[in-house]
Amino acid sequence: MSPIYDNDDVTPPIGHNNMYVPHQMLMRLYYKNNIYPEDGVNPIDLWYGRPFYGKVDTEGRTVHLSETHLKQFTRTDLFAADFVVDAFEDFHSELKIAIQRTNLPSDSFLKTIRPIRAWTSPGNLYHVYFSNLHGAFVDSYIKNEKGSIKNFEDYFKFFMEYVYSSANSLPFSRSSFILSRFCSPLTSGMMVDLAPDGHGNDFVKFTKYINTNEFECYRNTAAKFGFFVDKNAPWRLIANIASPEMKEYIKQSTCSVVVEDPWDFGDGNAVDNFKMKERIFDCEVESTEELFSVYYYPTSKYDYESFKIYLFQSYNTFAGAFPEYENWKYCFSKKETQVTFGEREIFVDRPDSKAYDIFTKQYDDLFWLPVYFSVLAAEARIKMDSLRRKKTLKRLRDIYKISGLQKAIDFIEKQTKIPAIYSAEETQDKFVLDY
């Protein structure tokens, strides 16, 4: 077997992250259009085609994997969704047999294939991200305003200015973070990296993987067990949850055999006439929609509360680090401006109440819901005139008062769930995705 491309067939790609940006863009386009073989099994393109694969469900809602469905890869400390691990173990076993039967070069990538990176907690990633966001806000955005901030209201005003001014590039809510470039697609639990290579060097992707004798065997075997190969990271396998092969692994992970009263003796006397009752398979997951329903949580389920908690922690961290504010006043008798210092408001535990409970009692849902909506709308790049905004917020408050908090959050999610970066269509009020 020869490489997919002979030396004269295609010019090796040379794009990398350190190039001058216009050149880098041209080289990325060259890789996108010319490098991955057009014949044979199709890859998945997370960069340009399906960037939200595994991050949103079939209705366009941001989701994250329930950790109860994680399973550990053999002889590693890595995890992924249980059906992904099962499929990979079988894929790896078959690949080992193919390797033993083939005289591979000593530097073949197949000889070193093993799980290197897999599921990553989106909660942990968001915590690190928000800590950096908080640091940038305190150290840069309000660097010259710290002294004037007396309480949470002052801090909140500046923070919201910061959020709105940077919403197009820096997500604030956890839902928007998961959809952003700052959150690894590995958080879906559907993917496993089989080598430590970085994504920035196209020459390595081509010479080490795509243009090798064994790449065809690798991608065909991957497809046989229900995996895509990542077009922009050929060492990454991604579960093709629409494939018949992967659906079988999903069924194996979610179906149980229910057998009640298995022995039927007819009239109770003729033992020779007994027969086994037909086995009943109880499957939780029969479709892609059910897969997301069983394996994943809508991020909105906890995003609103997370939104409040992180703002509370952000302010208290600031107030703890800078406990005094400045009060500048001009003294006419001395003809000079004088400064005095006051103690900045901070929320602390009391004998009868926790600090966070005090905070949420002072700033209740009628305060937070319009703010939460406004932030998600800004992140989704939804533009509203003042009249539409006023009507939407009134409806939001009415829903909350009549139907409760969860219905109000559902309303916000529905109004803001389709960012401009989605490429999708609305059909009968249902968000259509290609799974």
In total, how many domains does the chain have? 1
136 Cβ neighbours under 8 A, 6+ residues apart: none
* 373 domain-assigned: no
CA angle, residues 363, 364, 367, in degrees to nearest 5: 75
Question: Does residue 191 lie in a domain region?
Answer: yes
- At 420, the pLDDT band (50, 70, 90 cuts) reads very low
Judge whether residue 402 has pLDDT over 60: yes
Cβ–Cβ < 8 Å for 365, 313: no
Residue 266, pLDDT above cutoff 60: no
Residue located via tokens 């243009």: 211
Average pLDDT for residues 234-259, to the nearest whole number?
Answer: 88
Residue 401, in any domain of the structure: no
Please give the C-alpha separations between residue 5 and each of 88, 134, 215, 381, in angstroms, as whole numbers.
28, 49, 11, 43
What is the tens place of the pLDDT at every residue in 48-72?
888 889 999 988 889 999 999 999 9
- Which pLDDT score is estimated for 339? 64
Does a structural domain hold residue 83?
Answer: yes
Segment (H or E) for 294: helix 288-295
Cα–Cα distances (Å) from 354 to 235, 349, 350, 357, in that order, read 49, 4, 6, 5
Q: Do residues 430 and 414 lie in contact, with contact meaning Cβ atoms separated by under 8 Å? A: no
The model's pLDDT over 93-145, given as tens digits with 9 standing for 90+, comes to 999 888 888 888 888 999 899 999 999 999 999 999 999 999 999 999 999 88
Tokens 């085609």, residue located: 49
User: Which residue blocks in 50-208 are alpha helix, DSSP H?
Assistant: 82-101, 122-136, 152-166, 174-179, 202-204
Distance CA 255, CA 248 (A): 10
Contact call for residues 81 and 295 (beta carbons, < 8 A)? yes
- Domain hosting residue 223, numbered range: 21-119+187-239
Q: Is the dihedral of CA 411, 181, 314, 148 positive or negative?
A: negative
Is 87 a domain residue? Answer: yes
User: Given this model, what pLDDT does residue 338 score?
Assistant: 63
Residue 217 confidence (pLDDT): 92
Strands (E), 198-245: 227-230, 233-239
pLDDT exceeds cutoff 90 at 392: yes
User: Averaged over 147-176, what is the pLDDT?
Assistant: 92
Across all residues in the chain, what is the average pLDDT? 86
Q: In this predicted model, which residue has the larger pLDDT, 210 or 168?
A: 210
Of 105, 121, 6, the C-alpha closest to 66 is 121
Q: Residue 390: pLDDT above 60?
A: yes
φ, ψ (nearest 5 deg) of residue 106: -60, -30
Q: Token pair for residue 179?
A: 């959809």
Instruction: Please check whether residue 340 lies inside any domain of the structure.
Output: no
Instruction: Judge whether 387 lies within some domain.
Output: no
Once rounded to an integer, what is the mean pLDDT over residues 25-54?
92
* Residue 273 or 366, more confident: 366
Q: What's the mean pLDDT in 71-97?
A: 96
The predicted pLDDT at position 332 comes to: 61
Whether pLDDT at 8 is above 50: yes
Q: What is the pLDDT of residues 316-363, one digit of tens each?
A: 999 999 998 877 666 666 666 666 678 999 999 998 899 999 999 999
Q: What is the pTM of this model?
A: 0.86
> Do 280 and 311 form a contact (C-beta atoms < 8 A)?
no
Task: Please indicate, yes or no, if residue 172 is contained in any of the structural domains.
Answer: no
pLDDT the model gives residue 431: 43
Number of H helices, E strands in the chain: 14, 15
Q: Which helix (H) or strand (E) holds 318?
A: helix 300-321
